[in-house]
Each structure stands twice: as C-alpha cells, then as structure tokens.
C-alpha cells in the first residue's frame, strides 16, 4: 500500500491552519464558489508532500485531512537481535584509533544492556589485529579476511557487513564518522533497511526499551537532538574520532575470534562484477596538511577576537612556545585569516587535547562540540559572560593582545630563555 493523503471537502472550512503547519509548502487554499458559505478548500500537492502528518495534527479539530501511511516494513522481531557491535575500521592493515574509542563506549552500552560487545574486522590478512580488540574490551571479534577487502571499497565492504549483520543480528552497530565510515555506514544502513544517526556526540541506552539514545547537534547546531530508532534493528550510529576516550588495554581479558568466509560471487546478485565496479588503484597521502590537530596534546586556537589576520602570528608564537598546534574558530577561517584545515568544531575537526587554549573565541555550540572533551580548557576573552569562559577550567579575562605576550614572556623567563631586567 502506498502513502495516501486526502482532504475531505465536506469537512474543510478553509481555515488555513494546515497551510501554516506544512513545512514543505505543499498545501494551498483554492476558491470554492459553489460552497454555500464560499469557504475555501485546502488542496495538497502530493509531489511536495512528505507525509509528515503536521497538517493532520493541525486539522484535528475539523478532522478534514485523512492520511494512510505505507506499511512497508514487517514488524521486526526485536528478540532476535542481540549484542553491541563496533566496526573496527582499519587502514592499510592497522586498526584506526577511533575503533578503540568506540570499544570504550560500546563496552558501557553492552554492560548496561547485559549483552556482549563484539568487534568486526574486515580486511586482508588482518586477523593478527583481532586479539588487541579483545584486550581493549571486545568479547568477540568477527574477522573476515579476503583479498577483495584489502583496501576499502564501498561495494565489497558494504555487501560483506550487510550480510554479516543479516546473519548475526546485532541490536546496535557503531562506526567511526571517518571519511570511510561516513560512506560505508550509510550504504550498510540502506541495504539492511534501518536508520543511521551520523556524527553523534553522545550515546546511551534506555534499558527498558533497549533503544539507543543517539545525541547529535541539529538545526545548525542550535540544539542537541536525541534520536531513537524505535521500530528497526539494528540501531546504527557513527561517532567522530576523539569524541570518546580510548579504551584501556587489559592484557588479562579473554575473548573469542570468529572467522567467517563468504563466497563473494554470491553476496550480490550482480556477482563479482558488482563487487568490482570501483577498483582501488593507489593510495596518495595528503602532504598539504601541516597540522594534525586531532592528535595534538596542546592546541592554541584563535577566533574572531583576534580582529585581524596578523593575530594568528601571536597564536602561532604561543603554540610554538608550548609545543602546540594551531586551531581556529569558523569565524576566523571564514574571514580568510587561516586555512580550513585548522578549523575546530561541528564543521571542522573534533579534538580532545590535554590543553585547549581558546583565544578570542566566544564558545558557540558549534565550536564547543568540537573541543568540549579537552582535559583542560583555558579561555582568554575580554567578555566574562562568553560561553567559553563559563566552561573553561581557567578563564583569563582581558585583552588577548596583553595576556598572550605576557604568558609567552613568563614561560620564556621561567626557562631562562629571556632575562628579566629590572
Ligand atoms: C551549521 C553551522 C556550523 C558551524 N560550524 C562551526 C565550526 O565547526 N566551528 C566554529 O568555530 N564555528 C562554527 N560555526 C559558527 C559558530 O556558530 C560561531 O559563529 C563561531 O564559532 C564564532 O566564532 P568566534 O567565537 O571566533 O567569534 P565570535 O562569536 O564573534 O567571538 C569572538 C570573541 O572574541 C572576544 N574578543 C574580542 N576581542 C577580544 C580581545 N581583544 N581579547 C580577548 N577577547 C576578545 C569577544 O568577547 C567574543 O567572545 C558554525 C555555524 C553553523 C550555523
């Protein structure tokens, strides 16, 4: 049955509540000269309608809009789904750091749900990495070793993971929101007909419903939305590198390694031709990026408060003095003062250094989601009410052009690099 929506002309009063409620501009009022009271009639353009039901709610009083929703999916038997899975992304045979962070969070979710934590490792000759995943919290590691999985390619990877999920039925699958994860997770979710919440900044579970609570910024980062997948399984989410802390290695941990072998010519009706639609030719490393912000222990970031591009010279000087990398707010990147590769935040990098020094950055939510997990936050701002000053471990109120040179001078003095002249 397809989606259907209709206006009951005998009940419609032409009040326009439905027109105002429709976020897609799919409803207009048309004249009805034949109507005894000349009331207008609502008409829905089904090409624009996405069947959200807002108009049905708005018209509750008159009950003039009737909607029948497509019953596409048979009810999923949740009892068949068990375990929390972490996709252990690997590049060139090395498991990515984000996988160890997801194991940390996955462990907490699995413990709350009193279920197992499993890792999934796809690649070629990567079985030797499985034991380390167990030492970092996995109870079980599914390993699929095949030359076709040597380097990441969308089709073979997505077919393989989708097949494994159909076979083993995990209730939760979490993956890194890396370049690979973003492309991969969405394909897998579409193949197994479930939802995916991308770029989560927090995960939790409601133990009574076993629903995964997937929190992420929404509406341009103005609110944090907690998204549920209440009618489908598995529940899938991606999380950026550095959002969670890395799992600690416990050499006493024991676990199971389950090797799977699939006939790749049968995973998709298109056979191996389908799997080989895109071929991996060569890996070319990006040598243009000077900074690896995500891995830096100390970051000194500059914002619009610098007032001019030259302000970054001061930021660089402080970063150099204390062995840190240079970060930036989007406002300073958008002003053309520093390249995008330095941007921290929702549309930039997520970082979690030991020390984050925010200079002339107000601390809007889109910036905070990218650096809020830093261990120590030092804010330098002349506005004590700025949000960054409120969350900072140390808030230094004043002009950054006075405070930063003073800090540099004091550090150099303490190292004996400059002499103090009375
Ligand atoms: C969809 C979307 C995504 C976004 N993604 C990001 C993102 O990834 N990263 C990001 O940073 N932003 C992002 N933003 C933008 C974000 O909303 C803010 O506009 C931005 O972070 C503001 O940057 P700022 O703090 O440098 O500037 P402002 O908000 O203008 O703050 C400047 C601060 O400097 C202080 N100041 C001024 N002069 C001095 C001085 N001499 N000494 C000390 N302090 C001084 C002021 O008191 C003020 O607090 C995004 C926005 C949207 C809508």
Tens of pLDDT along 116-172?
A: 999 999 999 999 999 999 999 999 999 999 999 999 999 999 999 999 999 999 999
Does residue 301's CB lie within 6 angstroms of at least one atom of ligand 1?
A: no
Q: Are strands 394-397 and 84-87 parallel, antiparallel or unpaired?
A: unpaired
The answer to whether 303 and 343 have CB atoms below 8 angstroms apart is no
Domain ranges of the chain: 4-68, 78-275, 293-414
> Per the structure block, which two tokens stand in for 312?
């970054």
The pLDDT of 58-65, averaged and rounded, is 94
* 83 vs 251: CA distance, rounded Å: 23
Question: pLDDT value at position 98?
Answer: 96
Is the preceding omega at residue 281 within 30 degrees of 0, hence cis?
Answer: no
Fold match flag (78-275 vs 293-414)? yes
SS3 104: helix
Query: Residue for token digits 């040179």?
Result: 405
Does residue 194's CB lie within 6 angstroms of at least one atom of ligand 1?
A: no
**Strands, E assignment, 312-420:** 325-328, 355-359, 376-381, 394-397
Report the residue among 343, 361, 365, 380 best suited for mutation to probe ligand 1: largest number of ligand atoms under 8 A from its CB.
361
Does residue 370's CB lie within 6 angstroms of at least one atom of ligand 1?
A: yes
Tens of pLDDT along 251-273?
A: 999 999 999 999 988 888 888 88
Question: pLDDT value at position 307?
Answer: 97
List of residues 6+ apart from 62 with CB closer than 8 A: 11, 12, 13, 15
* 189 vs 311: CA distance, rounded Å: 45
According to the CATH classification, is domain 293-414 in 3.30.70.260?
Answer: no
DSSP β-bridge partners for residue 90? 95
Tell me the H-state helices in 323-383. Answer: 330-334, 365-371
Give me ligand 1 centre to Cα 394, in Å.
19
Does residue 346's CB lie within 6 angstroms of at least one atom of ligand 1?
A: yes
Question: pLDDT value at position 211?
Answer: 97
State the Rg of the chain over Cα. Answer: 27
Residue 94 reports pLDDT greater than 60: yes
Residue 422 reports pLDDT greater than 60: no
What does CATH list as the number for 78-275? 3.40.50.620
Residue nearest ligand 1's atom 41 by CA: 399
The pLDDT of 84-110, averaged and rounded, is 96
Give me ligand 1 centre to Cα 251, in Å.
44
The answer to whether 127 and 93 have CB atoms below 8 angstroms apart is no
Residue 68 reports pLDDT greater than 70: yes
Band the pLDDT of 417: cuts 50, 70, 90: confident
List of residues 6+ apart from 162 with CB closer than 8 A: 188, 191, 192
* 288 vs 333: CA distance, rounded Å: 17
Question: pLDDT value at position 288?
Answer: 52
* 174 vs 249: CA distance, rounded Å: 20
**Mean pLDDT rounded to a whole number for the chain:** 92
Distances (CA, A) of 46 to 7, 49, 67, 420: 12, 5, 12, 77
The pLDDT of 292-311, averaged and rounded, is 94
> Per the structure block, which two tokens stand in for 243?
């959002």
- Give the number of the atom of ligand 1 that is nearest the alpha carbon of residue 345: 8
* 200 vs 84: CA distance, rounded Å: 16
Residue 348 reports pLDDT greater than 70: yes
Question: pLDDT value at position 419?
Answer: 60
Angle at which helices 400-414 and 311-322 pack, to 10 degrees?
30
Band the pLDDT of 283: cuts 50, 70, 90: confident
Residue 286 reports pLDDT greater than 90: no
Distance of CA 328 to the CA centre of its chain: 20
Tens of pLDDT along 170-219?
A: 999 999 999 899 999 999 999 999 999 999 999 999 999 999 999 998 87
Band the pLDDT of 292: cuts 50, 70, 90: confident
Q: Are strands 90-91 and 94-95 parallel, antiparallel or unpaired?
A: antiparallel
Does residue 347's CB lie within 6 angstroms of at least one atom of ligand 1?
A: yes
Residue 290 reports pLDDT greater than 80: no
Q: Are strands 223-227 and 211-218 parallel, antiparallel or unpaired?
A: antiparallel
Q: Percentage of the chain surpassing pLDDT 90?
A: 78
Does residue 381's CB lie within 6 angstroms of at least one atom of ligand 1?
A: yes
The answer to whether 387 and 362 have CB atoms below 8 angstroms apart is yes
The answer to whether 192 and 162 have CB atoms below 8 angstroms apart is yes
Residue 275 reports pLDDT greater than 60: yes
Give me ligand 1 centre to Cα 360, in Å.
8
Does residue 386's CB lie within 6 angstroms of at least one atom of ligand 1?
A: yes
The third-level CATH classification (topology) of the domain covering 4-68 is Alpha-Beta Plaits (3.30.70)
Question: pLDDT value at position 71?
Answer: 58
Does residue 349's CB lie within 6 angstroms of at least one atom of ligand 1?
A: no
The pLDDT of 293-314, averaged and rounded, is 95
The model scores a pTM over 0.85 = no
The pLDDT of 50-72, averaged and rounded, is 86
Report which of residues 75 and 125 the model is more confident about.
Answer: 125
């Amino acid at each position: 049955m397809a989606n259907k929506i209709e206006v009951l002309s005998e009940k419609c009063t032409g009040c326009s509540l439905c027109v105002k409620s429709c976020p897609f501009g799919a409803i207009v009022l048309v004249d009805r000269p034949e109507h005894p009271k000349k009331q207008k009639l609502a008409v829905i353009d089904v090409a624009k309608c996405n069947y959200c039901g807002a108009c049905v709610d708005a018209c509750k009083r008159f009950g003039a809009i009737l909607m029948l929703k497509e019953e596409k999916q048979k009810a999923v038997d949740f009892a068949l789904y068990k375990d929390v899975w972490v996709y252990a992304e690997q590049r060139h045979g090395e498991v990515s750091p984000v996988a160890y962070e997801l194991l940390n969070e996955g462990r907490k979710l699995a413990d709350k749900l009193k279920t197992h934590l499993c890792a999934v490792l796809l690649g070629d000759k990567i079985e030797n990495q499985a034991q380390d995943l167990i030492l970092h919290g996995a109870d079980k590691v599914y390993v699929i070793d095949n030359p076709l999985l040597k380097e990441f390619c969308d089709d073979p990877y997505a077919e393989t993971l989708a097949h494994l999920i159909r076979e083993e039925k995990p209730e939760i699958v979490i993956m890194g929101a890396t370049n690979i994860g973003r492309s991969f997770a969405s394909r897998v979710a579409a193949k197994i007909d479930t939802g995916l919440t991308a770029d989560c900044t927090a995960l939790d579970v409601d133990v009574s419903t076993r629903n995964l609570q997937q929190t992420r910024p929404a509406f341009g980062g103005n609110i944090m939305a907690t998204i549920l997948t209440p009618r489908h399984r598995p529940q899938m989410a991606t999380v950026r590198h550095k959002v969670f802390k890395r799992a600690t290695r416990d050499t006493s941990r024991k676990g199971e390694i389950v090797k799977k072998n699939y006939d790749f010519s049968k995973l998709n009706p298109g056979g191996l031709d389908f799997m080989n639609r895109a071929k991996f030719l060569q890996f070319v490393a990006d040598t243009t990026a000077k900074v690896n912000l995500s891995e830096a222990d100390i970051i000194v970031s500059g914002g619009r408060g610098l007032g001019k591009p030259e302000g970054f010279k001061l930021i660089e000087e402080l970063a150099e003095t204390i062995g840190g990398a240079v970060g930036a707010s989007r406002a300073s990147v958008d002003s053309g003062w520093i390249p995008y590769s330095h941007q921290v935040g929702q549309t930039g990098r997520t970082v979690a250094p030991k020390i984050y020094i925010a200079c002339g950055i107000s601390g809007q939510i889109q910036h905070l989601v990218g650096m809020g997990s830093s261990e120590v936050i030092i804010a330098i701002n002349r506005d004590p009410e700025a949000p960054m000053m409120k969350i900072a471990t140390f808030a230094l109120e004043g002009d950054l052009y006075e405070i930063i040179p003073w800090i540099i001078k004091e550090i150099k003095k303490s190292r004996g690099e400059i002499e103090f002249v009375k």
